[in-house]
Amino acid sequence: MSMESVKTIRGISSDVTLAKGIDIDVSSTYTVSMEVRSIGKEKSKAYFYLDCLDEKGRSIKRQHVNRKTQFPPVKVIGVSEDRKSLSIEEDQTVWDDSPTNLLGLYLDGDLEQLPLYSLFKISKKNSTEIILSSPMDASIEIKPGVTKARVHVNEGTANVYPALRAQMVPFEWTKYESQIHGESFGIKHDKFLLGTRSVRIGIRANWEQTGADVEFAMKNLVFSQIKYLLH
């Protein structure tokens, strides 16, 4: 997509969607470029972001890709009748009791893919059992001896910020650009989130600048796939 005309954003903490439903091939390389400037009395703090969406058009959230790697995954061997606890192969690892901890389930045991979209609050874990704060839905099919579970963290956003990230934008027109290629099980601003199939793109301007006289302007925005020709 491209936008040549000048777009201005005035007001505090403005979040503007520029385009959505853009299909992504994570094996390709994409380029982002734009020209921006501040036109108020003070410089605007701005972000250009990609909201990465999965195959069902849902935002991939930070908790889906933010694993606590210091805690190894465990294999699930059963689920209780009330669906509030999971039996696991014996594991002596002590999980910390942070309130941000969530349990990610990998139903087919593939730890290189995203976990189940729904993550669960953990009440406690011992060497043979994980107790959840609330029951799992009956539609979730645990595969004994195959399904794996591990700790994820529920905090922060999961947007990718290529090219423009928390910059104080100059008063003269300034070009920002970068490339994005591949996917990452973790937030890296030159890669899509694991499982990305499409994106929504947007701009956050004048961010958290309460009381400031700020206005942001942008033109010549390009987000496009780079296609290589082999001769």
What pLDDT is stored for residue 60 in this prediction?
93
Q: How do residues 173-209 score in pLDDT, each as one tens digit? A: 999 999 999 999 888 999 999 999 999 999 999 988 8
Q: How do residues 70-115 score in pLDDT, each as one tens digit? A: 999 999 999 999 999 999 999 999 999 899 999 999 999 999 999 9
Residue 229: pLDDT band (50, 70, 90) is very low
Q: How do residues 127-180 score in pLDDT, each as one tens digit? A: 999 999 999 999 999 999 999 999 999 876 789 999 999 999 999 999 999 999
pTM (two decimals): 0.85
Contact of 134 with 85, CB cutoff 8 Å:
no
Q: What letter represents residue 133's amino acid?
A: S
Q: Length of the chain, please?
A: 231
Where are the extended beta strands (E) located within 126-227? 129-132, 148-153, 165-168, 174-181, 183-184, 192-193, 198-205, 215-226
Mean pLDDT of 9-32: 90
Contact of 46 with 208, CB cutoff 8 Å:
no
Q: What letter represents residue 215's amino acid?
A: E
Which domains does the chain show, CATH number per domain? 12-60+158-199 (no CATH), 67-153 (2.40.30)
Place of tokens 């729904």: 118
What pLDDT is stored for residue 228 in this prediction?
59
What pLDDT is stored for residue 118 in this prediction?
93
What pLDDT is stored for residue 231 in this prediction?
45
Q: The tokens of 147 are what? A: 């399904």
